[in-house]
Structures are given as C-alpha cells and as structure tokens.
C-alpha cells in the first residue's frame, strides 16, 4: 500500500454519504494518481454526482475518509477545498449567468492574487477565443457548448491540481462534445489530473486512462479503460447500441 | 431629495434580499439606531455632521454584524419562515432598546448646517436638502462602483445568484453574508441621520414606517436589483412630494402603499425587474 500511496493525489476510502435517511452511495473506494485521467461511469442516479458533491465539501460524508495529497479534507468547508486545488466543473455548467464572462473568470481565480489572475486570463482567452470576443457580455447569453467551455475555463483559473468534470457532454451536440473532449485531453497533457464523471460511457472510456463503474451507489468494477472496453459486461450494459 | 435617502435604505434591503432571499424586518431599526447615533454624536461632542454620519455608519455596520451573527447564522435556513420571524424579533428588541435609552419622544436635530434657501425658478431648495441629496448620491455611486468593480463586489453578486456555486469558487460565503449585512446597515445608518435632518425629528419608531417604504421601493425597482432600488427610491420620494403638493400631506403614505399594491398587481417583477428564478 505505502509506495503506491505516494503518487496518489486523491484517495477516497470507504466513503458513505446520504441525504437524511437515504443513502446516495456506500463504501466507495477510489484513487486518482498524479497526472492521471480517471473516469466514473454509470447510469443516472448511480450516485456519481453525490460523490463529487462530497469530495468538494458540499455534502458531508456519513462514514469514510477523503484525502487530497495526503491531507484529510472531508471536514473542510467547500471554499477551503477549492483553495487547496480541487476544482469542480458541475453538471449543467453552473456558470453565473447574471454576471459577465470576464467576471465569471475572475471569480474562478478568487483566492489568487491579481497579477496571476490577469496573466491567466490572457492564457484563457488564447485558448478560448470565443470567450475573449464576448468577455463583457452576460454569461447567460452563451450557447450550451460555449457555457461548457466557460465552465472549464473558469475552473482552470483557480490553477487546480485536480479537476472534477461532471457530465461535460450532457445536452451538447456530438460535434461540440468532440471539441470539449479535445480540450479535456489537452488539459491532461498540461499535467492536470482529471476525475471525469460520465453517463456517456463510450466517450469516457475512449478518453480516460482508468475507470470505475458505479451502480446504485456502489463501485462494481474498476480497471484500465482498454480492458473495460472489451469486457462483455461493460459492453452489454454501457456500450450496447453504440457500436 | 427625500427619495435619495429612501434609496439608501432600499439598497440595503435589496442587497440582503438578493443574497439571503430574506426580508430583513430589523433593517428599519438599524436605520433608527443609526439616526440616534448621529444625533448623540452631534449633541455630545458637537462634531461636524459629516463626522456624525460616518460615526453612525460605523455603529450601524457593527450592529448589522451582530444581528447577522446572533439572529441569522445560527438559524436553520430549511425553514423559510424562521429567519423572517427572527428578524421581526430583532426589530421589536431594537425598538424597545431604543425607547428605553432614548425615550419615546421625538427629538429634533440641533442646527448643524447653515440654512440657506435657494430658488431655482418656482422651486425652493434649502441647503439641508442639497446636502442630503449630495451625500446620498455619493454613497450610492460608491456602493455601485463597489459592487461592480471590486473583487468582493463580484463575490457578492455571484453569492446572490447561487451561494453553493460561489463557495465552489473558493469564496467564503459566510464572510460575504456578514459583509453584506455590514454594508447594508451602514447605508441604513447614514440614511437615518439624513432623514433625521430632513424632518428634524428622530424617534424610536421612525424605522417602522421606513421599513415598509423600503419594501415598496424594492418591489418598485425589482427584487434584488440594486440599480432599481436607487431609482425606485427617488421615484417614491418624488411621488410623495407631488401627492403632498396636489392632494394632502396626510395621504402621503396611503399614496406610497397604494403604489405598492398596484405594482404587485400589474407588474410583479418591478419596473426594472428581471426574473429571479431562471432555472
């Protein structure tokens, strides 16, 4: 165990969370190593988003531990967890629609100094030219794909070490999904560790290095994505009809 | 002129409502305590009125902080009525404290500004009115710039839009809520002194009427809309003046609240309203 732990950035141990009496997921173990892209696939309601809510400090776990870079974080408030370097790109984008695009990016870099924020803003605008042209417009005026880009760009503004991507393909046209996943692969090349949550198992397994399969609040399978892709159970339950 | 002071109170409401989705009934009493702090400073130290206003803003801000810590933060937000009732409690407590310390009588402001009457065409304006207008406008411009240009201002706006998401940006939303209370209360404190100057009357019950006017203005301008609150206050002030001029001064308040009912019927989003719940 010990030597493996050294490279691990995120460690979720025997984690159980619920809302009041209802258990969202039970005894989940997940680890993500530095520089790795790990996917969690599973149907709607399997507990994937609840898991992300717990990692980011929005939900409190009932049992178990979450360690980030060796430090226990499951009792910290959400804003401190962000400051430690975990950034969550939420499902449905969750950008601030009533403030401008530029202000969304500024908020993303909230805990950083102004100089770093401004230089990163330039880098962001180079990467996403659409955002630059419309920087002073309200973010609510962007299209779905553009909002997803803004959400990712905003997450990057906090200089995260770990990015949690929640259903980045949801509700987007196939071509735009490809664009978004192109960006996601670039992020990994830049050295950012990624935990990806997707219902779209096919694209997630193609992009990530390793994956967990989640069903009704439990992790039922895990492995390298190339092995999972050829696993008959995964093929039948998650890749069926997509061939 | 008076409208500008209404705007100050309404901005405070609007900020608190925008961020907490809550009507803060104690806000009128913060306004009243602010007026008394200013009055006492002038009476006891004979200081300049600007110093008294600044002092009252500091005092009111501290009061706002205490109100937030004692009667908001510990209360469970799941029960929507609980924080509301709690603010009504705050309102009653502050009013009784005010009555006990300062007595129930109406007290006048000593002369602090030399009274000069200017005539612009048919309109008469006094130096007191001009001072009040200038000071209120200055505060409004400051608060507008603060909300739109500073980092904390942006944090306040995104917290108002979605507090959970704001905390996921690394914003300590509890701190933003405290600051909102302090800023709102400081504005109310300043408005208290300014209104005390206009009417030359300060009493422990002056907040009750003000709070209702604040609601009216907030509705007029659109819930959670700071700019709307600024303009709404001035509109209400003007309407009152005209109703005094053309109807009778005793109908002034009936007029104001008549407007509130009309807005609720015909334009529930307010004059400058945006829909609050977009999802």
Residue B115 lies in a domain: no
Nearest to A99 among B151, B157, B173 (CB): B157
Residue B28 counted as domain residue: yes
Q: How far apart are CA B187 and CA B9, in angstroms?
A: 7
| pLDDT number for residue B200 | 83
Q: What is the pLDDT of residue B277?
A: 41
Average pLDDT over residues A163-172: 92
Domain carrying residue B164: 2-110+122-266
Q: Which residues of A touch B278 (CB under 8 A)?
A: 97, 140
Q: How many separate domains does chain A show?
A: 1
Please tell me if residue A128 touches chain B, with a CB cutoff of 8 Å. Answer: no
By three-state DSSP, how is residue A134 classified? coil
The chain-wide mean pLDDT, for chain A, equals 91
Number of helices (H) and strands (E) in chain A: give both, helices first. 11, 10
Residue of A nearest to B274 (CA): A98
In a domain, B279, yes or no: no
CB within 8 Å: B274 and A82: no
**CATH number of the structural domain spanning residue A10:** 3.40.50.300
In-domain check, residue B197: yes
* Structural domain of A14: 2-239
In a domain, residue B273? The reply is no
Residue B47 lies in a domain: yes
Specify which residues A71 forms β-bridges with.
A68
Nearest CA in chain B to A57: B168
Helix (H/G/I), strand (E/B), else coil: B176: helix
Name residues 22-81 of chain B within 8 A of A (Cβ).
none
Residue B1: per-residue pLDDT: 63
What region, left, alpha or beta, does residue B265 occupy, with left being phi > 0 and alpha being psi -120 to 50 degrees?
A: alpha
B154 to chain A, closest Cα gap in Å:
7
B171 contacts on A by Cβ (under 8 Å): 79, 107, 110
In a domain, B192, yes or no: yes
Mean pLDDT of A42-63: 92
What integer pLDDT is reported at residue B276 of this predicted model? 44
CATH number for B9: 1.10.3470
Task: For A102-118, write each residue's pLDDT tens digit.
Answer: 999 999 999 999 999 99
Listed range (A59-73, A148-162, B46-60, B99-113) with the worst mean pLDDT: B99-113
Q: Is residue B117 part of a domain?
A: no
Q: What is the model's pLDDT at position B125?
A: 80
Enumerate the H helices of B46-74 as residue ranges.
Answer: 49-71
What is the total count of domains within chain B? 1
Between CA B165 and CA B187 the distance in angstroms is 28
Query: What ipTM goes with this model?
Result: 0.86
Please compute the mean of the pLDDT values over residues A74-81 and round it to a whole number. Answer: 94
Contact with chain A for residue B170, Cβ under 8 A: yes
Residue by residue, pLDDT tens for chain B (279 residues) are 678 888 899 898 888 888 888 889 999 999 999 999 999 999 998 888 999 999 999 999 999 999 999 998 888 777 778 888 999 999 999 999 999 988 878 888 887 777 778 887 777 788 888 888 899 999 999 999 999 999 999 999 999 889 999 999 999 999 999 999 999 999 999 999 999 988 888 999 899 888 888 888 888 888 778 888 888 888 888 888 777 777 777 777 787 778 778 887 887 777 776 544 433
Contact across the interface for B165 and A103, Cβ inside 8 Å: no
Candidate from B161, B168, B173 with C-beta closest to A56:
B168
Nearest to A51 by CA among A238, A183, A197, A186: A197
């Amino acid at each position: 165990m010990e030597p493996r732990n050294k490279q691990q950035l995120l460690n979720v141990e025997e984690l159980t969370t619920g809302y009041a009496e209802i258990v969202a997921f039970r005894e989940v173990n997940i680890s993500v190593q530095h520089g790795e892209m790990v996917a969690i696939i599973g149907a709607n309601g399997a507990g994937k988003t609840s898991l992300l809510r717990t990692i980011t400090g929005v939900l409190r776990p009932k049992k178990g531990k979450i360690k980030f870079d060796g430090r226990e974080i499951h009792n910290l408030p959400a804003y401190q967890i962000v400051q430690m370097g975990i950034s969550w790109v939420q499902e449905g984008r969750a950008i601030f629609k009533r403030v401008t695009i530029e202000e969304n990016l500024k908020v993303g870099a909230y805990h950083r100094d102004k100089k770093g924020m401004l230089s990163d803003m330039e880098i962001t605008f180079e990467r996403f030219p659409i955002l630059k042209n419309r920087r002073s417009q309200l973010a609510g005026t962007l299209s779905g794909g553009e909002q997803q880009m803004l959400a990712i760009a905003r997450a990057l503004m906090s200089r995260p070490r770990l990015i949690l991507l929640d259903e980045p393909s949801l509700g987007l046209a196939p071509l735009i999904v490809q664009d978004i996943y192109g960006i996601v692969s670039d992020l990994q090349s830049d050295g950012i560790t990624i935990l990806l949550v997707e219902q779209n198992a096919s694209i997630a397994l193609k992009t990530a290095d390793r994956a967990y399969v989640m069903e009704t609040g439990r992790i039922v399978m895990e492995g390298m994505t190339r092995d999972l892709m050829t696993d008959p159970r995964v093929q039948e339950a998650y890749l069926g009809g997509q061939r | 002129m008076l409208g500008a002071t209404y705007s100050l109170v309404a901005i405070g409401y609007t900020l608190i409502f925008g961020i907490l989705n809550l009507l803060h009934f104690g806000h009128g009493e913060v306004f009243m305590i602010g007026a008394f702090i200013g009055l006492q400073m002038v009476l006891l130290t004979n200081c300049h009125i600007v110093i008294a206003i600044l002092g009252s803003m500091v005092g009111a801000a501290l009061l706002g902080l205490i109100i937030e810590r004692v009667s908001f933060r510990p209360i469970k937000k799941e029960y929507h009525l609980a924080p509301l009732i709690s603010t009504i409690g705050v309102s009653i407590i502050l009013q009784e404290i005010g009555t006990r310390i300062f007595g129930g009588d109406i007290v006048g402001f000593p002369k602090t500004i030399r009274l000069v009457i200017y005539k612009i065409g048919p309109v008469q304006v006094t130096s007191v009115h001009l001072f009040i207008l200038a000071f209120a406008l200055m505060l409004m411009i400051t608060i507008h710039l603060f909300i739109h240009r500073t980092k904390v201002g942006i944090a306040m706006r995104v917290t108002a839009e979605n507090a959970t998401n704001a905390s996921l940006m690394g914003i300590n939303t509890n701190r933003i809520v405290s600051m909102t209370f302090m800023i709102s209360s400081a504005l109310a404190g300043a408005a208290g002194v300014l209104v005390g100057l206009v009417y030359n009357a300060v009493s422990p019950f002056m907040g009750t009427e003000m709070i209702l006017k604040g609601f009216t203005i907030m509705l007029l301008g659109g819930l959670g809309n700071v700019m709307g609150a600024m303009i709404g206050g001035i509109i209400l002030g003007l309407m009152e003046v005209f109703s005094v001029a053309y109807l009778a001064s005793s109908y002034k308040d009936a007029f104001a609240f008549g407007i509130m009912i009309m807005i609720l019927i015909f334009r529930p989003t307010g004059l400058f309203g945006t829909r609050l719940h977009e999802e």
